[in-house]
Amino acid sequence: MRRAAYGLAAGLLALPALSGCGAVGLAGDRGGQDASVRALLDRWAEAVRGRDERAFLDAVDPAAGGYRAEQRRVFANLAAVPLASWDYRLVRTGGFAPAQGDGRRIAVEAELRYRLDGYDAAPVTTTGRLTLVSRAARWYVAAEDTRRGGRQLWQQGPVTVVRGARSLVLGVGQDRARLGAVAELADRAVPAVREASRGTAWPGRVVVEMPASVERMAALLDSSVAKYRGIAAVTTGEVGRSGAAPADRIIVNPEAYGTLGEAGRQVVLTHETAHVATRTLTSAATPLWLSEGFADWVAYRGTGRTARQAAPELARAVAEGRQARELPEDAAFGFAGESGRLARAYEEGWLACRLIAERWGEEELARFYREVGGHDRRAGAVPAALRKVLRVSEAEFTAQWRAYVTAELS
């Protein structure tokens, strides 16, 4: 499952959690102030890259006891995370303001840019807000704004890292054996996705994160727990055709994932890996029935599951005379509304992609996916791709899909 908001990376990978103190603007040497702030952020980033705890804590306000203790834990939690880069960029600063004690405080907005070694082709970039304090002509980081964006995995506890042949699995509150099993399934998913998504250029590597609970998963995604209780995994990342975009993250719900057998877990990880592989081909023009249906088609391909086994909710609807007349709208992939509608939406999209693969061929399905995503906007994208690739109108395709669903599930 890919999050409908798509541009999630910023929320998921926000700066370490802060408790912000804002600042009101007073006159001051803004140029000199900004240079000092940049120097502080550079030292802080260099300390993370160099794994230098003393230098890292030297940038934190010595009077902020609670925040300093929290940052000591965060630094330790990062110990096993393979970082290729870690940098901060000053976006803007607030003005000077009086503060209690002997310091002055300012609010600072900064970008964190980092890469996981061997997995991110370009830095993951996210913005957060810091509170800085000046003491004895020196700036320190004093707090962070916890209300802005989600939290990172390493803020939730020590990160355990397992490297697969084609995967990197990061976990908190999970034993190494369980993370190793996830890596094995992710490693199998990569070649399966590569074979199915013909002509799709991607690095062939995935990053998987498994927090300790569904509550921690929701915190990573900056969302409510109710949205993810029955969801085994989601993929985050911004869709688009930028070759420099970093790798997506597959976030696993340890509770829902844990209820599945090995075959079900393989389907989940292959589905999410398909999202990673097709991210640069997926755009605002791509309807969710196609992106989710294609990912399901890749995941079920070669498993031997029949349509009735893989689409039980839709089979029930067909038996009761409730088959949909049209392919599902994006809203059907939400969490509100009639029970079973979300499952049917996935099943409808899967059978639409399965129909294309069987009737026109797997290469044409991949070509159709690329053609739809190549449009700049949603309006007209699917009809144009149907005519160009499959040589049918939208009405003809919809009629063939309805007949196919009935034949497969009756």
Q: How far apart are CA 215 and CA 227, in angstroms?
A: 10
Q: How far apart are CA 51 and CA 78, in angstroms?
A: 9
Q: How far apart are CA 238 and CA 218, in angstroms?
A: 18
Structure tokens at 204: 């062939």
Closest alpha carbon to 75 in 98, 55, 103, 95: 55
CA atoms within 13 A on the CB side of 229: 4
List the domain boundaries for the chain.
Answer: 1-7+151-281, 18-145, 283-410
pLDDT along the chain (410 residues), means of 10: 37 32 38 87 97 97 95 97 96 61 77 91 82 90 74 92 97 97 98 87 92 94 86 80 62 96 97 93 95 97 94 95 94 77 95 98 96 94 98 98 96
Structure tokens at 95: 């003005």
Residue 325, exposed/middle/buried by CB under 10 A (0-12, 13-18, 19+)?
exposed
- For the domain made up of 18-145, the CATH class stated in words is alpha beta
State the pLDDT at residue 2. 54
Query: pTM here?
Result: 0.86
CB atoms within 10 A of CB 122: 14
Closest alpha carbon to 233 in 254, 262, 264, 261: 254
* DSSP string over 294-340: HHHHHHHTTS---HHHH-HHHHHHHHTT---SSPPPGGGGSSSSSTT
CB atoms within 10 A of CB 186: 29
b/e string for 347-379 if b means 16 or more Cβ within 10 A? bbbbbbbbbbbeebebebbbbbbbbbbebeeee
Architecture per CATH, domain 1-7+151-281, reads as 2-Layer Sandwich (3.30)
State the pLDDT at residue 11. 27
State the pLDDT at residue 390. 98
Q: How far apart are CA 119 and CA 83, in angstroms?
A: 10
